[in-house]
Amino acid sequence: MIAHPDHSVKAGLLLASASPRRRELIKLLGLSVETTSADIDEVPLPNEQAADMARRLSREKALAVARHVRVPPSPGFIILASDTVVSLAGEPLGKPRDAAEARSMLGRLRGRTHQVYTAITLLDLQTDRALTDLADSDVPMRNYSDEELEAYIASGDPFDKAGAYAIQHSGFHPVENFSQCFANVMGLPLCHVVRSLRQLGVEAGNDVPTLCQAHISYACPVFKSILASGA
């Protein structure tokens, strides 16, 4: 069950995620945010494509959280759920269960380009309106050495991440020549969130592209086109 304060939920967002990366990024919106987690089965359906899987799971997470909200929502109160799927040659790669699986995933990804899909679902509990948006990025992995791979596995970082890696990891640096939405690969494409919130009549309280680029030390070449496509 979701633990809410005793008072009514204020207008703002309820982020349905236990991911520390998402909880870190969501603060850049400048909106009131509460956090919880959604307990759903994240197993792919037979023959399910990665993009479809991300969309489905983000919607299921939002609905799972909505079923447990125990206080009347205030106007503007929105659930935000997100799901990220790493896809290599059409095969979804989940979170590794152990070091052997992490080693296999990282070995297969090495020196190749794969795709990362993050779907976000916004659910306005006052109106029952739901929006789902999808970010996708091509991610070129560098040709890291076996020694680098093993050191990264030994750090423990791969085990709670789809595809067994974090693009932002300062020691491993798994990706090279990347030129798309960095926050998407981290798990929460903020400009997609901004443009979806606008469709629900909600404006972010901050200059999100500027703060996002400063936060992750990345000059994003695609934020203008993402925001413009939602106009």
* Catalytic positions, written as ranges: 83
- Contacts of residue 72, Cβ cutoff 8 Å, sequence gap at least 6: 8
DSSP 147: H
Amino acid sitting at position 115: Q
Q: Cα separation of 131 and 110, whole Å? A: 35
Q: Cα separation of 142 and 112, whole Å? A: 7
8 A C-beta contact, residue 14 and residue 79: yes
Nearest Cα residue to 150 out of 108, 103, 111: 103
Nearest Cα residue to 122 out of 5, 230, 4: 230
- Contacts of residue 50, Cβ cutoff 8 Å, sequence gap at least 6: 85, 86, 87, 90, 92, 115, 117
- Contacts of residue 227, Cβ cutoff 8 Å, sequence gap at least 6: 191, 194, 195, 209
